[in-house]
Amino acid sequence: MANINVRKRSQHRRRVQAALSEILNDPSVMPNVDCPNLVIVVTQVEFGRTVRDILVRCCALPKQAIIPGQEPHVVRYQREAELRTGGVYDDFYDLRYFGRLSALAGAELQKRLGLLYVPEIRWLPAALTANDGEPTMETVFDEPDA
């Protein structure tokens, strides 16, 4: 006989992954408006010892590929930031590294799923590499110290 908690967790995992994808791509929620062309892809959601502890692996992909001769998105972001804020802008990885994204996504996840608690979101380390034109995930850097 199968353990009913395994089925409950897998169903909850799918709900959490779908909600996090919506949250991380919602411009009204995400504070990294400096990088409007990024699409956040949530590739893995796991639970820690409880369902309150959520481990997420995700990456940021550009909506459009860079055309040869076009400036890279990062160069454009830096140029725009120098005009607006003295050269400082937050991208997805900055937000994730410094923990602001975890608190923001946890609070929004509580609202959207109607949870009784604010989940603790931790980011699984990952980087994007190309494999025959398809994105794949490889673990390459360590979890930042809090």
pLDDT score, position 34 = 58
> How many CB atoms neighbour CB 120 within 10 A?
14
Instruction: List the CATH code of the domain at 4-63+92-138.
Output: 3.30.300.20
Burial (Cβ within 10 Å: 0-12, 13-18, ≥19) of residue 121: buried
Q: What does the alpha-carbon distance between residue 97 and residue 99 come to, in Å, rounded to a whole number?
A: 6
State the pTM of this model. Answer: 0.68
> How many CB atoms neighbour CB 42 within 10 A?
19
pLDDT digits (tens, 9 = 90+) for 2-55: 555 567 778 889 999 999 999 988 877 776 555 677 788 898 898 888 889 999
Contact 25, 6 (CB under 8 A): no
pLDDT score, position 111 = 94
Structure confidence at residue 117 as a pLDDT band (50, 70, 90): very high
With 50 as the cut, is the pLDDT of residue 59 above it?
A: yes
Backbone angles phi, psi at 9, to 5 degrees: -65, -40
pLDDT score, position 32 = 59
Q: What does the alpha-carbon distance between residue 54 and residue 101 come to, in Å, rounded to a whole number?
A: 13
Looking at residues 70-79, what average pLDDT do you find? 79
Contact 109, 16 (CB under 8 A): yes
| Domain ranges across the chain | 4-63+92-138
